[in-house]
Amino acid sequence: MPFFLIFLCLLGVSVHAANNLVVIHVDDNYHPYSYAENGKAEGVYIDILRSSMERLPDYEVELRPVSWEKGKKLMESGEAFALAPVFYHGHDWKYVYPYSFPFFEEKIIVVCRENILSSHRSGWPEDYEGLRISGMVGFDGWGGSRFRLMVKQGKIQYSEYQGVENNILLLGQNRADCMLAEERSFNLLYAKLQEYGRYVVSDTRPALVKGTVTGLDPVFIGYSEAAIESGNYPFQQQFRKQLDNVLYQLYKSGEIEAVAKNSFSKQRYGLVKKVKGKLELGGIAGSINHKISASILKEAYDFLGIETNFHTMPAKRSILESDLGKFDGETQRIKGIGKDYPNLLRIPVPLLEIEIAAYSKNHDLRIESWQSLKPYSIGLRRGIIIAESYTKDLRRVLVNSESQLLEMLLWDRLDIIIGNTYKLDSLIRKQGLSSVKELSPLLIKQPLYHYLNRSKSELADRITLELQRMKLSGRIDQIRIETLTNEGLL
């Protein structure tokens, strides 16, 4: 009988240890990282923490949403054991200590109205003197000490508002010039506002552009020093040690980043209503700009649930087919073709820039305009419609490839050749043609845009928003570099 009682007592201790309840209070209004939805904690950080807690079988962990100010008061009084997410505040929050292993890092950037960043502003915060900058309530460490000093000196006007979305909308209303934001949360929420029609770029509401990085902030779980000292959490040291070990292992294995990416993707997909369908798009045969643009568009339309097929042919034939509706649109063209092809609708997000330059063996040649080429025999590849239009009254030869142009130049059959800098620079470099030089300045530097036939105009807003998101995140530039590298042009 005594043995039986001892057994029950031991069993009771084991069950008690296996059910230690740990409440971690979490921010209820920090989209997309930590927020409340129907009273339940959700967000990127919540997914990371839940993934971590699953590896702590001896503890029952509750992630309880709370307003930020209330959470801080609970921590200070010792009524709360832990709060997340927090940055390091050892210098001013004396009641928060210790901190967990850092489970994430936020990149803090400045985001401005497009016209503000038309001037070069690479130096933070000095290049932003005289501007109105907004930030989020509760993030008083963002921007750094020099920024805070400039605010104190009146050199920068600073104000705080609740949440990323409100700060974005204030920029659109011209109530601020720039805002401080965490980069990935800004990318997601700016796309959300556009998708829902709450931020529509117009003449009076400019696009928002990311500026310089202002800082990197590790993210922690903070523990209440008062709660620990109260003795109400006898398991706290063992819990913190086990959790730190789990967080470290997840960090080293790359699982934290994988969980974060999946969480961002889950939230992003929730913004977009998928449509099914297929597009047949025309493009210019042999054009590297077509290949880059096709790669960008394939990814963008894939995200929208739309299959894309690309058909290449001579430039004039392709655009005519698209205008007549035989194709659903053009992969990429310059701005302004609508007057000649009225059935084509331009998508207003530039995919890349076309650069057309002149090349010669005569390094002393100076060109100031297209007309300055008049005394010379020139050659260019068929299909570069804008170059063809500028040279129609000049002594020119049209050929089918850049290789032919270089051969004719080397054999002195032409004085000057004109073409895409991507292609010609690569061929000159690969063939070691040191005698051929690019002439300054560039003849053409213009953005290229995607066009849809007006019969597909219902897709225009959706593809515009997705391309804006890709451009803002840097994905368009990344695809351009990947394509050029794969084609051996970099």
Predicted confidence (pLDDT) per residue in 386-435, tens digit: 888 889 889 999 998 889 999 999 999 999 999 888 889 989 998 999 99
Confidence band of 458 (pLDDT split at 50, 70, 90): confident
Give me the mean pLDDT over the 324-343 stretch: 92
Contacts of 349 (CB under 8 A, 6+ apart): 449, 450, 464, 467, 468, 471
- Structurally, the chain folds into a number of domains equal to 4
- Domain match, 391 and 428 both: yes
pLDDT score of 269 more than 70: no
In a shared domain, residues 94 and 144: no
Average pLDDT, the chain: 88
Beta bridge partners, 20, equal 59
Helices (H), 173-220: 183-195
- What CATH number should be reported for the domain holding residue 331? 3.40.190.10
pTM > 0.75: no
Count of other CB atoms within 10 angstroms of residue 474: 12
What's the Cα-to-Cα distance from 445 to each of 137, 353, 359, 392, rounded to whole Å?
Answer: 43, 6, 16, 19
Tell me if 6 is assigned to some domain.
no
* Nearest alpha-carbon partner for 44 in 162, 184, 169: 184
Contact 36, 70 (CB under 8 A): no
Residues 289 and 367 in one domain: no
Q: CA angle, corner 25, sides to 24 and 30, nearest 5? A: 125
pLDDT reported for residue 410 = 94
Q: In angstroms, rounded to a whole number, what is the distance separating the alpha carbons of residues 338 and 136?
A: 43
Model confidence pLDDT, tens digit, residues 55-110 = 999 999 999 999 988 999 999 999 999 999 999 988 888 999 999 999 999 999 99
**Pair 335, 382 in one domain:** no
Other C-beta atoms lying within 10 Å of the C-beta of residue 365: 17
For residues 325 and 383, state if they share a domain.
no
Element (H, E) at 122: none
Say what the pLDDT of residue 275 is: 60
In the prediction, which pLDDT does 274 show?
55
Note whether residue 4 is domain-resident.
no
Are both 149 and 184 inside the same structural domain? yes
- The parent domain of residue 264 ranges over 18-101+219-269
Q: Are residues 338 and 453 in the same domain?
A: yes
Assess contact for 215 and 144: CB atoms under 8 A: yes
